[in-house]
Amino acid sequence: MSDGLTIAGKTFQSRFLIGTSRYPNMQVMLDAIDKSGAEIVTVGIRRLHLNDASGENVLGLIDRERYTLLPNTAGCFTARDAVLTANLAREALGTDWVKLEVIGDERTLFPDVMGLLEGAEALVRDGFTVLPYCNDDPVTCKKLEDIGCAAVMPLGAPIGSGMGIRNPQNIQIILDTVQVPVIIDAGVGTASDAAVAMELGCDGVLLNTAVAGARHPVKMAEAMRKAIEAGRLAYEAGRIPKKLYATASTSMEGRVHA
């Protein structure tokens, strides 16, 4: 792609961020991550055995020289739990980067906005580079930016739903409202969903289930990579405006008359 994704002063050539859960096995996970071309890999701290150096541990398999680990606070329902989890990740992994999740409802997995803002403020104050998973709400995204978050990551649809970008108008308003990178997080189901996100002007896409749960995860990882690249190029190229009626692609000048 013609440019990279810059977060907190660090530039990545790939705009694809990929997760590590729910794969059929570890080898499929590694192959999918490799085929995705992603440089940022997110891991759930609550499900890791941090002291286990065996081959079954995700941390023992991910090449830290090749990939930037982005620990997340998945499964946290309070700001306090999320902050504690982020600090455990910093101590164990030696990174100040964290994908902040504060869940407000167990059924929908929608974020708890009040808890998210509280957690983000505490972590930014403690020197973390915070990438918050949030609602597709321009007001919340602006508040997160003002707190000092390095990016905002609005959902396209509920986590794992595969419903795609349900509210592109809100995403567009978010893009017009904040200056930090906007990364779609959650809801992408297939390659066309990822392309839509990028065509809107999003800076990146973070996904997990759409690849891990696909019939062929490695092929889907490649499809997502290509869709994200194509969507970004289309955004940079600038689409033609939509019109109700036809516009001839060939000039009417010089028509043959019988």
> Structural domain of residue 209, as residue ranges?
5-237
Say whether pLDDT at 87 is over 70: yes
Say whether pLDDT at 225 is over 80: yes
Secondary element (H or E) of residue 133? strand 129-134
Report the CATH number at residue 204: 3.20.20.70
Instruction: Give the span between the Cα atoms of 222 and 100, in whole angstroms.
Output: 27
Average pLDDT over residues 89-109: 93
- Report pLDDT for 252: 63
Question: 189 in a domain, yes or no?
Answer: yes
The residues facing 251 across adjacent strands are none
Average pLDDT over residues 83-101: 94
Question: 256 in a domain, yes or no?
Answer: no
Say whether pLDDT at 51 is over 60: no
Question: 71 in a domain, yes or no?
Answer: yes
Say whether pLDDT at 242 is over 60: yes
The position carrying tokens 């019939």 is: 215
Sign of CA dihedral 146, 147, 151, 154: negative
User: Which residues lie closer than 8 Å to 163 by C-beta, 6 or more apart?
Assistant: 156, 157, 187, 189
Query: Three-class SS string for 55-123?
Result: CCCHHHHCCCCCCEEEEECCCCCCHHHHHHHHHHHHHHHCCCEEEECCECCCCCCCECHHHHHHHHHHH
Question: 251 in a domain, yes or no?
Answer: no
Q: Among residues 88, 91, 83, 95, which one has the least CA distance to residue 122?
A: 83
Among 57-61, 96-100, 102-106, 229-233, name the one with the lowest average pLDDT: 57-61
Please give the positions annotated as active site. 99
Secondary element (H or E) of residue 6? strand 5-7
Average pLDDT over residues 157-172: 93
Model confidence pLDDT, tens digit, residues 102-160:
999 888 899 999 999 999 999 999 999 999 999 999 999 999 999 999 999 999 999 98
Question: 182 in a domain, yes or no?
Answer: yes
Q: Is 207 exposed, middle or buried (0-12, 13-18, 19+ CB in 10 A)?
A: buried
Model confidence pLDDT, tens digit, residues 2-31:
679 999 999 999 999 999 999 999 999 999
Q: How many domains does the chain have?
A: 1
Percent of the chain topping pLDDT 70: 91
Instruction: Give the span between the Cα atoms of 228 and 57, in whole angstroms.
Output: 29
- Report pLDDT for 156: 93
pTM: 0.89
Question: 244 in a domain, yes or no?
Answer: no
Secondary element (H or E) of residue 145? helix 138-147
> pLDDT-derived band of residue 59, with 50, 70 and 90 as boundaries?
confident
Question: 164 in a domain, yes or no?
Answer: yes
Question: 34 in a domain, yes or no?
Answer: yes
DSSP helix/strand/coil, 254: coil
The position carrying tokens 């890791």 is: 48
